[in-house]
Amino acid sequence: MTTAGSPPMPLIPPATRAPLVAVARAIFPALIHLEVQGLENVPPTGPLIVAFNHLSHLDPPLVVVTTPRELECIALADLAHVPVTGRLLKSYGVIWVRRDEMDRNVLAESLAVLAAGRALALAPEARISATGALMAGHGGVAWLAARSGAPVVPAAMTGTEVGIDEWRHLRRPRLSITYGAPLCLPLPIGLPPAERRACLAANTETLMRAIAALLPPEYRGAYA
């Protein structure tokens, strides 16, 4: 297991990842009603960041099983100690991050993934929404995009906030995920610090507005 503060993870996924994803793709249709749109917007090769709204613990698995790329994912280190969830995340192989920390090793691992031409998935809100709608985005995605030059595909999910509760009532939840057109979020070279921060904030706003545009109005929250 890679923990926050450890050296960058090897760019070789664990042997358990492929069978885990295959099983998830096989059983998901029996567990959910799923609508997927915009897969043509996901570049088939090259470095890529998939940035999704975060409504529940179902969001990362939904992105993994629907995106036609193998994804590296960032996950909260606290989840490593949750019995079932932790075992699944370790079997998949994730980049662990501590809550509310800007860990340099996490950034280095993420940049290494992108430098190798691979795809990375993360939530710019950095936490599950407390409202069921978009919260303010953090600057991590914009920073990674600027440093790596990777395009960012916005992904918008609905229904996952009630998915687990629907399962408890033995119902198949109706979920959707829509992939938007790739965004280029450049950061001009040589800017003074204040202007660089302003540019990153503007890029984050652009990304969050792109995610909001893919969502029904009731999910747009801070970006309504």
DSSP H helices in 97-191: 104-115, 140-148, 160-168
Nearest to 103 by CA among 201, 3, 24, 184: 3
Q: What is the DSSP letter of 129?
A: -
Per-residue pLDDT of the chain (224 residues; tens, 9 = 90+): 444 444 454 457 889 999 999 999 999 999 999 999 999 999 999 999 999 999 999 999 999 999 999 999 998 888 888 888 889 999 999 998 887 666 788 899 999 999 999 999 999 999 999 999 999 999 999 999 999 999 999 999 999 999 989 999 999 999 999 999 999 998 887 888 899 999 999 999 999 999 999 999 999 999 99
Per-residue tokens: 54: 């975060």
Q: How many other CB atoms are found less than 10 A from the CB of residue 41?
A: 15
Strands 174-179 and 152-158: antiparallel
Query: At a CB cut-off of 8 Å and minimum separation 6, what does 7 contact?
Result: 105
Q: Looking at the domain that runs over 17-223, which CATH code has it been given?
A: 3.40.1130.10
Q: What is the predicted pLDDT for the residue at 163?
A: 93
